[in-house]
Amino acid sequence: MITESTIERVLARLESGRDDFAVEIQDFAEAQPFLMSYLTNEETEAFTEEEREFLLFGALVIYQSVTDQLVEPGVADVAQISAAEEANYVILQGTKGNFRDRLTPFFEQSPQEDLLAFVEDMLVADEEDAITKEGREPLFVTLKTVVDVLT
């Protein structure tokens, strides 16, 4: 399981500005080309520019947390990504209530609670309202898919 301390260490490093974000994204794209394609495909064009930036930042934090604490994951392929995304939408469709209530089943079924908590916090702690209400659930599912295929 990826720990909160690992996630905080990665966040601190990325937010410090010491590392060039564009270089970090390029390294991620080279290591996980199908995952980067998934994150930048035409379906994500429905997100606002700020939401797409949140998506890439969140995916980078997840990826670097996994590689910092575990080992370099194998390259996720299109079939793995599609299966994980579909399974996550099935879970979401079976839920009711507010945004946080709808996420409970994901936490109950995943050993990566700290990564999911990071994603949830990132989506609800948005002080600048860069994340639209309509974008929250698809962003969560997309980042949960990243967690699933990397862990």
For residue 76 the two structure tokens come to: 């996720």
CA distance 38 to 18: 27
Alpha helices in 16-132 (DSSP H): 21-31, 33-39, 49-69, 78-93, 99-108, 113-124
- The pLDDT, as a whole number, for residue 18 is 66
- The pLDDT, as a whole number, for residue 20 is 80
- Among 7, 123, 118, 13, which Cα is nearest to 67's? 7
Torsion of CA 75, 77, 81, 83, to 10 degrees: -130
- The pLDDT, as a whole number, for residue 57 is 94
- The pLDDT, as a whole number, for residue 10 is 94
Burial of 32 (0-12, 13-18, 19+ CB in 10 A): buried
Return per-residue pLDDT of the chain as tens, 151 residues. 899 999 999 999 888 876 688 889 999 999 999 999 999 998 888 899 989 999 999 999 999 999 998 778 889 999 999 999 999 999 999 999 999 899 999 999 899 999 999 999 988 876 567 788 889 999 999 999 999 999 9
Domain membership of residue 83 as a residue range: 4-150
Domain count, the chain: 1
